[in-house]
């Protein structure tokens, strides 16, 4: 086991009173600003999220990992932060939803690791109430270290003055950002657009960095110490395994930590794109179809016969195939959009899915196996109808209602649940050996 001595690194937790306040824009802009100054910036995202980290990685130039006291675990979160502190000049953590929404909440995470909180508050259609909201965020929980507030989407210099004057004198005013579409990030049904799909993303990040450079956030926050970084590698349970992973605009919901774990376990990773009709690499021992947006690319996927035939051939010789959420939809017989249009899919799993206009499942979940539990989450806008009997159901950390079903059909294991593989390396290896259940 390699030990890296504890070091203190400037760190800031970017949160807000609710979703939609501009946390990602501000976090990405800050990362780009400090990166421009030659600083090594490591950004983390609170909770399960695939989309925000894509943008934050583009802004910071480094992979963005998840922090969550339940899904990742406190000990693993501490290790990730300690490792980042040992190599970075600045750590930024973007919160999820509102500061106290949970459990576990962004406030829980900030308090656990003593990271000061910057509250980003959208001041559109708000004046003196800005002071009351700021006061509430700062005082609601005394154990949460509070850094200050940033006013976002401000209409004018006079508007900014009114907001600052409404702020209690003992709360730090960190400045304001004016309302402009030039830096706002577009969104859709599962959240923000993927980084590669946002027009002029780098120009937007540069403009956000310019705006933040004129605020108090141009200065580094106080240093935080997270303890020693312990590098203990798990056994190489996938040594020599070659795993093919679908990766394109239709299949992109992949935790970077999951891929890092596969490599640490000894696997060789080969990516391919069903969306551009690439075949599964012939030497692949196992296949992973992650979640994403197959519904946005259903027609192209249906027409891409080379990719389809190679996935069917992989399953036909009984090689393990793991499919999550959108990857599972791709394996079904057909997919129906919200417009009623029916598109044939691969037909490797019996049944069909119907896209909905609102999400049909959301929250943390856990699946048990022969190798113990694995944590993860679910978030989807489709409903599945299949004659397959579930192999087992995930459970929820809160409540007794069953979680997502896990299905097995020959070498295929499929589910809506997005698993966080580092929560159980042995289970992960067993999935790709076809022996998880």
Q: 415: helix, coil or strand? A: strand
For residues 197 and 99, give the distance between their C-alpha atoms in angstroms, rounded to a whole number: 28
Task: Identify any residues that bridge with 152 across adjacent strands, giving them in sequence order.
Answer: 122
Contact 93, 74 (CB under 8 A): no
Nearest residue to 155 (alpha-carbon basis) of 186, 130, 191: 130
- Confirm if 293 and 385 have CB atoms less than 8 A apart: no
DSSP 172: -
292: β partners:
251
Q: How many other CB atoms are found less than 10 A from the CB of residue 188?
A: 12
325 is catalytic: yes
Cα separation, 312 vs 274, whole angstroms: 12
- Region of 246 (left: φ > 0; alpha: ψ -120 to 50; beta: rest) is beta
- Which pair of structure tokens corresponds to residue 162? 């009114």
* Environment class of 144 (CB within 10 Å of its CB; exposed 0-12, middle 13-18, buried 19+): buried
- As given in the structure block, the two tokens for residue 53 are 């980290």
Torsion angle of the four alpha carbons 225, 227, 232, 233, in this order, in degrees rounded to the nearest 10: -20
In this structure, are residues 403 and 312 in contact, taking their beta carbons and an 8 Å threshold?
no
CA distances from 317 to 96, 131, 260, 410 (A): 42, 64, 27, 10
Length of the chain: 437
Place of tokens 């830096």: 183
* Sequence-ordered list of residues with C-beta below 8 angstroms from that of 193, at least 6 positions apart, any chain: 51, 185, 186, 187
Give the catalytic positions in this structure.
325
């Amino acid at each position: 086991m390699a030990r890296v001595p504890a070091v203190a690194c400037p760190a800031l937790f970017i949160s807000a009173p609710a979703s939609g306040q501009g946390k990602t824009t501000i976090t990405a802009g800050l990362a780009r600003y400090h990166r421009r100054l030659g600083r090594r910036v490591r950004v983390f995202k609170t909770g399960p999220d695939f989309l925000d980290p894509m943008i934050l990685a583009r802004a910071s130039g480094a992979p963005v990992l998840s922090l969550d006291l339940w899904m990742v675990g406190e000990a693993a979160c501490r290790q990730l932060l300690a490792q980042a502190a040992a190599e970075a000049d600045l750590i930024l953590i973007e919160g999820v939803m509102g500061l106290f929404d949970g459990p576990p909440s962004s406030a829980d995470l900030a308090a656990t690791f003593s990271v000061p909180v910057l509250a980003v508050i959208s001041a559109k259609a708000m004046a003196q109430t800005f002071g009351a909201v700021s006061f509430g965020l700062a005082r609601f929980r005394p154990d949460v270290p509070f850094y200050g507030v940033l006013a976002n989407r401000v209409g004018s210099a006079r508007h900014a003055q009114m907001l600052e004057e409404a702020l209690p004198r003992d709360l730090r005013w960190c400045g304001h950002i004016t309302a402009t579409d030039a830096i706002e990030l577009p969104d859709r049904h599962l959240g923000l657009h993927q980084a590669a799909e946002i027009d002029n993303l780098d120009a937007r990040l540069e403009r956000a960095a310019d705006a933040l450079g004129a605020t108090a956030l141009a200065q580094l926050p106080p240093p935080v110490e997270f303890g020693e970084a312990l590098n203990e590698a798990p056994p190489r349970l996938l040594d020599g395994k070659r795993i093919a992973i679908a990766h394109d605009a239709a299949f992109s919901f992949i935790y970077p930590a999951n891929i890092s774990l596969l490599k640490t376990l000894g696997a060789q990773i080969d990516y391919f794109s069903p969306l551009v009709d690439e075949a599964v690499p012939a030497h692949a021992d196992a296949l992973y179809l992650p979640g994403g947006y197959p519904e946005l690319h259903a027609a192209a996927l249906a027409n891409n016969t080379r990719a389809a035939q190679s996935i069917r051939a992989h399953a036909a010789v009984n090689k393990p195939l793991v499919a999550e959420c959108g990857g599972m939809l791709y394996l079904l017989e057909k997919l129906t959009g919200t417009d009623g249009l029916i598109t044939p899919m691969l037909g490797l799993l019996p049944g069909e899915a119907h896209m909905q206009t609102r999400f049909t499942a959301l929250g943390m979940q856990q699946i048990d196996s022969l190798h113990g539990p694995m944590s993860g989450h679910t978030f989807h806008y489709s409903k599945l109808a299949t004659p397959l009997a579930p192999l087992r159901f995930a459970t929820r950390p809160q409540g007794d209602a069953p979680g997502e079903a896990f299905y097995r059909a020959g070498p295929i294991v499929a589910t809506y649940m997005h698993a966080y593989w580092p929560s159980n390396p042995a289970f992960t290896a067993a999935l790709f050996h076809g022996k998880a259940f």
